[in-house]
Amino acid sequence: MIEQQGRVVAVRNGSVDIRLGGTSGCAVCDAGKGCGAGVFGKLLKRKPVTVRIENTVNAKQEQPVMVGIPEALFFRLAARFYLYPLLAGIAGAGVGYHLSGLVNTSSVVSDLITLLAGLLSGAAVLFLFGTGAREFSGPVMVHLLRVIEFPETRNMKTRKLL
């Protein structure tokens, strides 16, 4: 299960709206330490996404929660939107290069035909595979896993009781 932290922004009849994203990276990257992915996140300025999920863990308003998607779904989506168009682009470029060699064109025209064939075949596969919603039909794919409780909040609750 691939997990992402979010925050409950609304509680509805048996479901919750959870805001995901909007940070530049993990907590270490946001603090300016770590691998540096936070730098790219700040450049891209990811906008938060709100999803509605069945409230299986009795989450309350403004609570931090952990949601997840199955790895199999993640890999299918990655292949669908990245791998298949890339492979089709490479194959299309190869076909374009071969065809330009048969026509006996100049090197500039040959390169142009190769580029266009690669781009068109990659875009065609992305369009064909990207239009269906096969992965999201059936059961809900994003799962509410748990409410996140930080040690500080547990200590504060016990202090209030004493």
User: Which domain does 113 fall in, by range?
Assistant: 73-140
57 and 112 within one domain: no
Are 103 and 51 in the same domain?
no
- Verify that 54 and 1 share a domain, yes or no: yes
What pTM was estimated for this model as a whole?
A: 0.60
**53 domain residue, yes or no:** yes
Does residue 66 sit in the same domain as residue 115? no
pLDDT tens figures, 100-109: 989 888 999 9
**Lowest-confidence range among 65-74, 89-98, 100-109, 144-153?**
144-153
Q: Is the dihedral of CA 70, 71, 76, 79 positive or negative?
A: positive
- Do 6 and 57 reside in the same domain of the chain? yes
Within a domain: residue 32?
A: yes
Longest dimension (CA), the chain: 88
